[in-house]
Amino acid sequence: MGRDAQAQTTGRRELSFAVIGAGMSGILSTIKLREHGYSNVTIYEKADGLGGTWRENTYPGVACDVPSALYSYSFAPNAEWTHRFSSGAEILTYLEGVAASNAVPGSVRFGEEVVRCDFVDGRWHLETSLGAHDVVDVVIAATGVLHHPYIPDIDGLDSFAGRTVHTARWDETVPIDGQRVGIVGTGSSAIQMVAAVADRVALLHVFQRTAQWVMPQENPAYTDGERQAFRDDPTVMHALHEDISEMFANGFSNAVVDAESEGMRMIEAACLANLEDSVTNAELRERLRPDYRAACKRLVVSPDFYRAIQHPNAELVTDAIECVEPEGVRTANGRVHALDVLVLATGFRVDRFMRPMEVVGPTGARLSEIWADRPTAYKSISIPGIPNFFMLNGPNGPIGNFSLIEVAELQFAFILKLLERLRSGGCARISATAEATEAFEATRVEAAKGTVWATGCRSWYLDDRGVPAAWPWTFQRFREVMAEPDIGDFDLKG
């Protein structure tokens, strides 16, 4: 029986899916689709393994600044976390384990990047980097945000005679111990790496363009008794997850969206005290002191960066980089910092999302044209004119202040309700209307003006207009918005 005939007989469509990306969101999507009776699911992953961010980022010191119990799927609590905040390797092991226990790997086509999606005759036609083709009803873009490394435009970068490596493309063969190492950047990746290698290298040069506020962090190990209690009673882990979620939402997450909140004043006081109490040298302390408000840039969380930067073999370099030469980095004062290894801890191109993949809607509208000015989407999930195509952690979502696993779970629950419209035969195509998207974006932009991210610093949160490209409201509001789609905001076609 053909698909159309089957739909007429049963009143339900047997939908097929392509999930793009096998990271945290792709694994979640596949598990939840199957849980809700969708069995025809194929995952396309450009790399050779699962894990996304945690597969690609393996630099020394890589870790998550969201507590482990919260950076977990709500349906898969992990009794084996070793610390309150987990290392990247431990998170990757967790994701691989959840995927394996839910038979996800068997649905993944590894080493196959989707390069094009065309919506033709009511279905998505996919082309991959291997020249293969697929036709599906629905595309779930679980491509993530932090996966296109940003390479700075530094004169002579290719001329360096030593090893050059980006933190997001770490090479385990790069020597660190006993070497002269330079790290460009002072974001989270840089600060984690500084803390991890300061005791290992011969000399460490940290090239700082902008000082960062650093929130102190305690990272105690879970005791054997605590882990045994987690194993014996999974409800203990569930309760911990819920408690930390509420604490995180009502504390940091809600503070940063109101620049004048009492929560922000407490965060700033903690960061200031950390600087004042931890850095003994007055001259170094002043060079580490930012000239903007705490959390205006993505707040760095570290238990030991200040200790590491005061190590006898560490040097904070605040003179601007003029160029890279074969022997090292030349700064504006004319000094050449001789290096064996140059590390680019310079972050990501956060506006890329699923690009450079080309997405073409039913009228011929291309995503590259729709996003010519900047990426935008209805509630970060749906794009007008691009039906049956849904994103997790898409543009203008809550990337900066919530647990992305918790965000993805709430978003996917929202998407499942839209999918039920397709499966039930209520419509054949669904996407957000242009009017609803424009209204949402206008409201979001206005609200963003009151966040701490809009208080005068330069950061990767800001779009080309200088507007914070993130969810500017509380986590409770996010939960409420994700609880039920407003069908009036969607274009439904038969």
Indicate if the pLDDT at residue 7 is higher than 80. Answer: no
Largest CA distance in the chain: 78
Q: Are 207 and 316 in contact (CB under 8 A)?
A: no
Is the bond preceding residue 356 a cis peptide, omega within 30 degrees? yes
Q: Report the pLDDT value the prediction gives residue 8, as an integer from 0 to 100.
A: 44
pLDDT digit string, tens, across residues 226-260: 999 999 998 998 999 999 988 888 888 889 999 99
Q: Report the pLDDT value the prediction gives residue 147, as an integer from 0 to 100.
A: 66
Q: Report the pLDDT value the prediction gives residue 314, as an integer from 0 to 100.
A: 98
Q: Report the pLDDT value the prediction gives residue 398, as an integer from 0 to 100.
A: 85
Q: Report the pLDDT value the prediction gives residue 356, as an integer from 0 to 100.
A: 81
Indicate if the pLDDT at residue 192 is higher than 60. Answer: yes
pLDDT digit string, tens, across residues 384-435: 999 999 999 999 888 766 789 999 999 999 999 999 999 999 999 999 999 9
Q: Report the pLDDT value the prediction gives residue 280, as an integer from 0 to 100.
A: 96
Domains and CATH numbers, the chain: 3-50+104-148+349-493 (3.50.50.60), 157-218+246-344 (3.50.50.60)
What is the separation, in whole angstroms, between the first and last Cα of the chain? 21
DSSP string, 153-183: --TTGGG-SSEEEEGGG--TTS--TT-EEEE
Q: Report the pLDDT value the prediction gives residue 13, as an integer from 0 to 100.
A: 86
d(CA 342, CA 103): 40
Q: Report the pLDDT value the prediction gives residue 461, as an integer from 0 to 100.
A: 84
pLDDT band at residue 39 using 50, 70 and 90 as cut-offs: very high
**CA nearest to 281, candidates 251, 307, 245, 256:** 307
Instruction: Tell which wins on pLDDT, 183 or 249.
Output: 183
Mean pLDDT of all residues in 322-333: 98
Q: What is the dihedral of CA 476, 479, 483, 486, to 10 degrees?
A: 80
Q: Report the pLDDT value the prediction gives residue 402, as an integer from 0 to 100.
A: 76
Q: Report the pLDDT value the prediction gives residue 149, as an integer from 0 to 100.
A: 83
pLDDT band at residue 351 using 50, 70 and 90 as cut-offs: low
Mean pLDDT of all residues in 86-98: 97
Of the given ranges (231-240, 367-376, 392-401, 462-471), which has the lowest mean pLDDT? 392-401
**Strand, helix or coil for residue 382:** strand
pTM for this model (two decimals): 0.93
Indicate if the pLDDT at residue 345 is higher than 80. Answer: yes
Q: Report the pLDDT value the prediction gives residue 189, as an integer from 0 to 100.
A: 94
Query: b vs e for 1-20, b when ≥16 Cβ sit within 10 Å of the residue's Cβ?
Result: eeeeeebeeeeebebbbbbb
Mean pLDDT of all residues in 29-56: 96
pLDDT band at residue 5 using 50, 70 and 90 as cut-offs: very low
Indicate if the pLDDT at residue 205 is higher than 90. Answer: yes
